[in-house]
Each structure stands twice: as C-alpha cells, then as structure tokens.
A and B are shown apart, each in its own frame.
Chain A
Amino acid sequence: MVKYKKMRKKKLATVWLGGCSGCHMSLLDIDERILDVAQLADIVKSPIVDGKEMPDVDIALVEGSVTSDEHYREILHIRKKAKTLIAFGDCAVMTNVTGMRNYFPLKEVFDAAYVNAVSNDAEGQVPDHPSLLKLNDKVVPLQEVVNVDFVIPGCPPNADTIFYVLFEFLNDRLPDLGKAKKLKYG
C-alpha cells in the first residue's frame, strides 16, 4: 500500500541573463496551465514577480547566456541556491544569437554598436560608466560556467515543452525531450 503523502510545495525561480526574454514570453504561453504549476510550486523569483533576493529554490529556469561579469556572478550564485538548474532556451544551451558576437573582437562589436552605427551622430562613443556591467570577451553557454542539470533547447522553446519539463520535475520525474519528441532548435 502506498501511503498518500502531501507533497511539500516546491520553490521555482526563473532568471533572465543574456537573452531577449522570449523564453519567458513562451513560459507565459503555457496559459491556464500555470495554475497547475502554481498548485505544485511557488514562483519565488522571476522577472514577472516582485521578488528581490534569490532564495534557496528547488528549480531554477535560467534564460540567456553568460555575457558579462554580472551574469557570471549571478549564475554562480544561482548554482549555489538551486537544487535543479535548467538551461532555458537556445541562448542558455548553445549561446544562439547572443553568441553571434563571438566571431568578432569585442572592440569591433562595441564600435559597430556605438561608434560606427549608421544612426549615430558624429560623436559616438562607447559608454563606460562604472555602474554598467562589463561585457566578457566571449559569450558562453551556462554549461561552460556551472553544472547544468537539464536543458530545454529552442528559440524560444514551445510552451508545451516548457510545461512538460516543469510538470515532470514538479512531480519528481525526469523528463526526456528526445523520447517525448519535443526537441527543437531555433
């Protein structure tokens, strides 16, 4: 006989690093199924909720790649706080569009955006205020900085895929995107 035990409500965080927030939009596309998620988990930190400090969480969905010193510190912090860290979307998994600047030296990238941009007036200059984050030379996916427990590729991942992965993890099962035929890049 299996005794029914009320499961502790899990804590869920979603974080937005070097990405376009498209993955978070896709997360919202799970529509009313977010109520199913809310029954099993509290969303304690996310760009769409009013959370401040990152608390200890069971699952962290991390969108975007590591592009700057700030992201680097952040992902190390998230790794410490999260039991399960999920790379969320193509940028987090394989750098995707954010990694397209990796083919050029960083200076060229800055110049293209701030100095030589067609829309610029004559005096374009690279912003260097101390409060701004410092871009790393190369954009790297999460897995090159920390151990990643699961990946959801896709640009953005389908809402169905996101819900499938979340629901499996929230019910203490391990999802398998290949077997579920939910793999997608781009």
Chain B
Amino acid sequence: MNCYMNTISIIIDDQKLETDPGKTILEVCRENGIDILTMCHLKGVLDIGACRLCLVEIEGVNKLLSACTTKVAANMIVRTNTDRIKKYQRITTELFFAERNHVCAVCVANGKCELQDLGYKVGLDHIRYPHLFPQCEVDTSHPWYVMDHNRCIMCTRCVRVCNEVEGAHNWDVMNRGHQVRIISDFNSPWGESETCTSCGKCLHACPTGAIWPKAIVQGQLQKNPGMINELVEKRKMKL
C-alpha cells in the first residue's frame, strides 16, 4: 500500500513530481521552479484564467487549459514549453500590445512594467497585428492616483484586489470584447467614487502603468505586487 496517501504524482515537462492534491498546476510548477508566464495571476487573490498566458498541454485533453485554474490530478501528464504553447504566448502578448495604446517611451512604468518583461521573455520584437488605436480615457479625477485606460490590459487584478482584499469593490468591468473597460463604481469618475478608500492596493496590483500615483515622475514608479499576498497572510494569522 502506498504510504504517501495524501500525495499524488504528476509529470510536468518529463519531470516526475509528488504533490498535494487540490493545488493548481501553476502552484505546483512555481514550487518546483518550472517557469510559467502569467499576467492576471496575483498571489493573494482568486485566479480567473483571464490572460491565457499560462496555457498548458495536458495529455488526453485536446484543448489547452490555463494552469492557474486547473487543479492537478493523479497521473496527469502536463507540458508547459512546447512550440504550440510558445506560439500562443507570443500571439497573446502581441494582442495585448495591439489592443490598447502602449507607448513605452512616455509611460511611467517604463522599465518596471510586467508587460514589457513579458515581451522580452517571449522574444517579441514587433507586432504582427494592426494596432486598434482606440480613443481611451485618462481618469485624473482622484486626488492622488491616475487611471490610464490606454495602458490597461484587462487582467482585472485591481478589481479582485479591491473586492477581495480591501473589500471596497470600487472597481468593476464594463462591456465586452475590445470595448471592455475597468470602471469605478457605476462608470463614474474615480474621484467621485463613494466606495474607494484610496488605499492604493490596486496601484500595487496593476502590472502595467495603467494605475499610478500622481506624486511620481517617469521612471520612478515603484510597485510592490507581493504586498497583496503579505497582507492576506497577515490577516489569516490574526483570526
């Protein structure tokens, strides 16, 4: 009889791993040093599988599944770095750039941007799709922060952190397709929000330069997305 009743074995990239059931493929990969690209994943808030960067191949399943929302199962055979997956990661990254107006040269997050880092990782040198060039709003109505929809990639990390960690639910999502937008309250200026506590967690959760503090100038942006998980863990200890 198996003496490790509580663990299951899975194979990721030809590597045999023992792990606890109930974890996601992404968690297991990160624990074992297997690099998986993510954008919408933020430790401390729920995963929604929105960005499609963490897609993996699972033997016996004929479509790609997101590693952040798929739980491991016994004897699962997962591949994370096939040519097919790399192709899709590159396409996804290009579409991020083509959908909104990402002008790195004039962005506060230039050099400290997760989208830029992602581009470098997938080897993106140009974008094969025509840019949409949408006319996006820049909401400067909040006294301390700015929401620039030009730079938003709809990862919804701000929405989840505001809802799950701060509990304010100031942010939400409006519309569908390429017209989708992050909104404050019922699509009113951020500065007039009745729910926003101005805590600034959304700013730290934001992977790009979409949400940033007015007090800084270009190149000085410091974001600390890791603090979200720290907060969550500290609150658990108090209970």
Chain A residues in the interface with B (C-beta under 8 A): 87, 90, 93-97, 99-100, 102-104, 138, 141, 143-144, 148, 151, 153, 155, 177-179, 181, 183-186
Q: Report the Cα distance A16→B40, complex, angstroms.
A: 39
Q: Report the Cα distance A164→B130, complex, angstroms.
A: 28
A100 / chain B contacts, CB cutoff of 8 Å: 101, 103, 106
Binary CB contact string for chain B from 178 to 222 against chain A (1 if under 8 A, 0 otherwise): 000000000000000000000000000000000000000000000
A155 / chain B contacts, CB cutoff of 8 Å: 104-105
Asked if B223 is an interface residue, CB under 8 A from chain A, the answer is no
Q: Report the Cα distance A102→B124, complex, angstroms.
A: 23
| CB contact between B116 and one of A178, A181, A186 (< 8 Å): that residue | A186
Inter-chain contact B103/A99, CB cutoff 8 Å? yes
Q: In chain B, residues 115-158, which have Cβ atoms closer than 8 Å to a Cβ of chain A?
A: 116, 119-120, 123-127, 130-131, 133-136
Asked if B97 is an interface residue, CB under 8 A from chain A, the answer is yes
* B127 nearest CB across to chain A (Å): 6
Known: A144-B130, A151-B126, A178-B125. A183 touches B107 (CB 8 A): no
Known: A99-B131, A100-B101. A185 touches B123 (CB 8 A): no
Inter-chain contact A186/B126, CB cutoff 8 Å? no
Inter-chain contact A96/B135, CB cutoff 8 Å? no
Number of chain B residues whose Cβ lies closer than 8 Å to a Cβ of chain A: 23
| CB contact between A94 and one of B116, B131, B134 (< 8 Å): that residue | B131
Inter-chain contact B125/A153, CB cutoff 8 Å? yes
- Which secondary structure dominates chain B's binding surface? loop
Inter-chain contact B135/A104, CB cutoff 8 Å? yes
* B123 nearest CB across to chain A (Å): 3
Asked if B110 is an interface residue, CB under 8 A from chain A, the answer is yes
Return the chain B residue nearest A139 by Cβ: B133
A153 / chain B contacts, CB cutoff of 8 Å: 125-126
Inter-chain contact A185/B133, CB cutoff 8 Å? no
Q: Report the Cα distance A183→B121, complex, angstroms.
A: 9
A-B pairs with beta carbons under 8 Å apart, 12 shown: A94-B97, A94-B131, A103-B101, A103-B135, A151-B125, A177-B125, A183-B119, A183-B120, A183-B124, A184-B120, A185-B119, A186-B103
B44 / chain A contacts, CB cutoff of 8 Å: none
Asked if B111 is an interface residue, CB under 8 A from chain A, the answer is yes
| Extra pairs beyond A94-B97, A185-B119 (8, CB < 8 Å) | A94-B131, A97-B105, A103-B133, A138-B133, A178-B125, A179-B123, A185-B104, A186-B111
